[in-house]
Amino acid sequence: MEAVDFLLSSRQHLFETLRQKLECTQVKMKQLADTHRREATFNIEDWVYVKLRPYRQTSIADKYQKLSKRFYGPY
């Protein structure tokens, strides 16, 4: 019984350690990502340029080469 309690407590300790490291890593990644971003505020009816990056689904493009360029969007 003591061995099971020891294993469960060590497992719980491991999960807590991993959770803390994951949270720390997420904060570091957000800080690095935010270094090249800038705050932009827009008013209603402002004209802005929007850059669209539609993705191309490769699983369909591999099977049907003819339709691969037109796949983005509902058909």
Residue 75 domain-assigned? Answer: no
Domain residues for 8? 2-70
Q: What is the pLDDT of residue 73?
A: 47
Rounded CA gap, 72 and 36, in Å?
29
**Helix, strand and coil in the chain, % to nearest 5:** 55, 0, 45
Residue 53 domain-assigned? Answer: yes
Q: What is the pLDDT of residue 53?
A: 62
Count of structural domains, the chain = 1
Phi, psi for 37 (deg, rounded to 5): -105, 155
Q: What is the pLDDT of residue 40?
A: 85
Rounded CA gap, 60 and 55, in Å?
12
pLDDT in tens, the chain (75 residues): 899 999 999 999 999 999 999 999 999 999 999 998 888 888 988 888 776 666 655 555 555 555 555 544 443
Q: What is the pLDDT of residue 47?
A: 86
Residue 58 domain-assigned? Answer: yes
Residue 16 domain-assigned? Answer: yes
Residue 8 domain-assigned? Answer: yes
Rounded CA gap, 10 and 34, in Å?
36
Residue 63 domain-assigned? Answer: yes
